[in-house]
Amino acid sequence: MPEQPIAGRYELLEGLGSGGMGEVWRGYDAVLDRPVAVKLISRQAMANAPQLAQEFTKRFHREARITARIQHPGVPQVYDAGLDDAYERLFLVMELVEGVPLSAYVRPDRPLPVSWAAAVAAQVATVLSHAHEVPVIHRDLKPGNILVARDGTVKVLDFGIAAILRTDVTKLTSTGSPMGTSQYMSPEQVRGGRITPQADLYALGCVLHELLSGRPLFSADNEYALMFQHVSAAPTPLRALRPDVPTALEELVLHLLLKAPEARPADVQEVYERLRPFLPPPGQKPAPGEAGPDGAPDPTGIFRNPYAPRARRQAGTGAQQPVQPDLNGVPAAPAPVPARLREEIKEAYAHSDALLEEERFAQAAEVLGEIIEPAARALGSENRQVLELRTQRAAIQLLGGDYRAALPEFDALADAYARTGGTTGEQARACRAQAARCRAELGQVTAALTALRGVLDVVRAVDGDVSEEAVELRRDIGMLLLAQGQAAEARLILEPLHEDLRVVFGPGDEMTQEIAEALALIRLGLDGPAT
């Protein structure tokens, strides 16, 4: 990992792989506080010869511009591109896609459901339709370059070796050698001939054949024998390998795999129309046997529920799972903290605090998340130090605006603190209040108000009406009512609060002034404009 961030802002955290253009890294954008993917052109490629380095540089900048022009959810967004501060490395910063490549789902012993494979192919076809309009040919379509994201969206990666279909650009990028992966390479690519969008259709046929049969289209001992088969060998019809494949789908795959480019379907739009009968209609639930691999995202979901809202987050679910309490619900017994773990926890806090100073909230929460799991394993999920780590992480998520991640964690923490310290304990009610604030930010106003009032009742009984905690809760309830247009109800809360604040903290206190301004606006709205 380099000592200095790329371009002063992109930190390289973990290598994700390498390809023809260089390396791909999991990175972090320190300016926008978000994870990114960073592609770096290899030093070797740039150092081989000045002319070659210049060509790579042109290709790299063109990759950024081309990929940025393909406006489709199935193509990772391009955020930035250029030279690093030392003028040594070209970089491309893109959306970091969390997903699983199709290659992980191809198994000879368990071919994928027809609707699952068709949904993947249909999504890839829509991506290619937008790319071919630019016009861009992918040239290296394969299962390893196709990811299924968590929401079932199919992402097509690595348009980096794509060429714009223009004479000047084609001449610039032609090297006389085939470009692509031999397992999915069209006959015209093998021959080194002119490449058209039909080359991507052939590769899509190879991918669809593999998804449905569980094995590659061709196999051979060496790359050249494999390439020869793409030029000369007839593909095995799908129904000979898997009889339950519909005849029309087998015919489409064979049409895609024809040797002559002009003999294949006219375009990806035609491919999509022929895939449509195998896609689930809106509202249809998966039938028995239609489920994909265990734990895999569902690419049919966007067809079953087009333009659907986000699925409701179930308790204890989400991208960042809260550490779950012991199954028997009994608080974990206090355990001594090993010296090594104690030091690691201390370092995690220090690192997280330093990141917070720079308002790098996502990364600060991630640093604590990395120590929570080993601490919970060593000490117990409801150990005091583990709960404190989880509470701090949730607070950072709340501060950074990641309310969806913070909400289930605060809910879980409130339950855990109730078991370990009682339902009216300070930590339990604080977490319930924070969960309510998350709900308010997510638009769950009624639930938020109910929870805040419940916590306030407890606080009043324990600490009175003008404790710091009670004052904040009263302020939150009143301001939330005001934001919802319930001015009369807000006034009933905020007027007595203002009087208490004047007495306890004085008229110059920041919160006193905030409530005074809110009441002034309420009075204007209730009493009408002054004459």
Give the DSSP letter string of 209-228.
Answer: HHHHHSS-S---SSHHHHHH
pLDDT band at 3 (very low <50, low <70, confident <90, very high): low
Separation CA 424–CA 95 (nearest Å): 44
Is the separation of the CB atoms in 154 and 299 below 8 Å?
A: yes
Domain spanning 386-527, CATH class: mainly alpha
Kindly list the domain boundaries of the chain, sorted by start residue.
Answer: 10-94, 99-304, 386-527
E runs forming strands in 64-196: 78-83, 90-94, 99-101, 136-137, 146-149, 154-156, 163-164
Q: What pLDDT is recorded for position 453?
A: 94
What is each CA distance from 293 to 77, 103, 116, 217, 432, in whole angstroms?
A: 28, 12, 10, 21, 38
Active-site annotation holder among 29, 109, 140, 463: 140
What is each CA distance from 334 to 268, 328, 339, 380, in whole angstroms?
A: 62, 16, 15, 8
Separation CA 198–CA 186 (nearest Å): 9
pLDDT at 380 over 50: yes
pLDDT digits (tens, 9 = 90+) for 398-424: 988 888 899 999 999 999 999 888 888
Q: What pLDDT is recorded for position 50?
A: 53
Q: Where is average pLDDT lowest: 10-24, 373-387, 496-510? A: 10-24
3-state DSSP helix/strand/coil percent for the chain, to nearest 5?
Answer: 55, 10, 35
The alpha helices in 106-197, defined as continuous H runs, are 114-133, 167-173, 187-191
Closest CA to 23 of 49, 58, 60: 60
pLDDT at 503 over 80: yes
Separation CA 248–CA 206 (nearest Å): 16
Q: Percent of the chain beyond pLDDT 90?
A: 42
Domain spanning 10-94, CATH class: alpha beta
pLDDT at 313 over 60: no
Known catalytic residue at 140: yes
Cβ contacts of residue 309 below 8 Å, gap of 6+?
Answer: none
Phi first, then psi, for residue 160 (nearest 5°) are -65, -25
Closest CA to 123 of 106, 147, 100: 147
Return mean pLDDT, the chain.
83
Instruction: Give the DSSP letter string of 377-435.
Output: HHH-TT-HHHHHHHHHHHHHHHHTT-HHHHHHHHHHHHHHHHHHH-TTSHHHHHHHHHH
Judge if 10-94 and 99-304 fold alike in CATH terms: no
pLDDT band at 42 (very low <50, low <70, confident <90, very high): low
pLDDT band at 43 (very low <50, low <70, confident <90, very high): low
The alpha helices in 134-267, defined as continuous H runs, are 167-173, 187-191, 198-213, 223-232, 238-241, 247-256
| CATH of 99-304 given 1.10.510.10, 2.40.33.10, 3.40.309.10, 3.90.1200.10 | 1.10.510.10
SS3 78: strand
Cβ contacts of residue 514 below 8 Å, gap of 6+?
Answer: 475
CA dihedral (268, 148, 81, 172) positive or negative: negative
**What pTM was computed for the model?**
0.62
DSSP single-letter state for residue 467: S
pLDDT digits (tens, 9 = 90+) for 57-90: 666 676 677 677 888 889 988 888 877 665 567 7
pLDDT digits (tens, 9 = 90+) for 302-311: 898 887 776 6
CA dihedral (416, 421, 424, 427) positive or negative: negative
Q: Percent of the chain beyond pLDDT 70?
A: 82
